[in-house]
């Protein structure tokens, strides 16, 4: 089986994982709204969806068009990082439980989660996103996708993290995020 086919299988598996995340996210959003959850950051959410969809599609297109020769050591190292980023992401999801979401929805009055990876980092899921953004495309040698996604994602995360942090700060202080 060619490297392009193996890479396609990997990217499709990640795509299926993303669909599973959306199912969990939708269920958790309903739970949060039933408890008075307030959503912020709606404006950047469609940009995030397009960027992450384009990331997967871009990596596939780049690998099939350029057909790069990827050193085995690089492919394996990047695969380990990509799998590790998935593990970190699901550690975040399971730690937050019903509070995890792809959107910024905060239920006022709930304390901040400080267990799991949140013991060590304020936004560990975004570490997973950044690592995956570099590692996944490089498994197949799609360095252009890795660079473009990383730059665009850095801009998006600047907005996303500020939005999320403001909402959490207001909720912890006893207010309702605007």
Provide the residue range defining the domain that includes 128.
Answer: 3-172
| Cα–Cα distance for residue pair 158/19, rounded to 1 Å | 24
Please check the confidence at residue 19 and state whether its pLDDT lies above 90: yes
Q: Are 123 and 95 in contact (CB under 8 A)?
A: no
In a domain, 122, yes or no: yes
In a domain, 178, yes or no: no
pLDDT in tens, 166-176: 888 877 776 65
Q: At 67, which CATH number?
A: 1.20.120.1630
Average pLDDT over residues 138-147: 98
In a domain, 78, yes or no: yes
Assessment of whether the complete model's pTM goes beyond 0.95:
no
Task: Work out how many domains the chain is built from and give that number.
Answer: 1
In a domain, 30, yes or no: yes
In a domain, 14, yes or no: yes
In a domain, 177, yes or no: no
The residues, any chain, with a CB within 8 Å of residue 86's CB and separated by 6 or more, are 14, 17, 128, 132
Going by C-alpha positions, the residue among 151, 122, 121, 117 that lies closest to residue 134 is 151
What φ, ψ does residue 75 adopt, rounded to 5°?
-60, -45
pLDDT in tens, 35-79: 999 999 999 999 999 999 999 999 999 999 999 999 999 999 999
């Amino acid at each position: 089986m060619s490297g392009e086919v193996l890479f396609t299988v990997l990217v499709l598996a990640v795509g299926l994982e993303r669909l599973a995340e959306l199912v969990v996210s939708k269920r958790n959003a309903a739970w949060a709204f039933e408890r008075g959850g307030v959503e912020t950051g709606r404006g950047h959410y469609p940009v995030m969806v397009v960027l992450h969809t384009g990331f997967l599609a871009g990596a596939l297109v780049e690998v099939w068009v350029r057909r790069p020769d990827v050193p085995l050591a690089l492919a394996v190292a990047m695969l380990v990082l990509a799998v590790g980023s998935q593990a970190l992401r699901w550690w975040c999801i399971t730690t937050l439980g019903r509070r995890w979401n792809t959107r910024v929805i905060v239920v006022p009055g709930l304390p901040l989660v400080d267990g799991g990876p949140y013991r060590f980092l304020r936004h560990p899921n975004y570490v997973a996103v950044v690592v995956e953004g570099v590692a996944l495309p490089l498994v197949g040698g799609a360095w252009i996708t890795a660079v473009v996604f990383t730059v665009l994602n850095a801009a998006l995360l600047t907005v996303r993290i500020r939005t999320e942090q403001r909402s959490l700060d207001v909720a912890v202080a006893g207010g309702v995020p605007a």
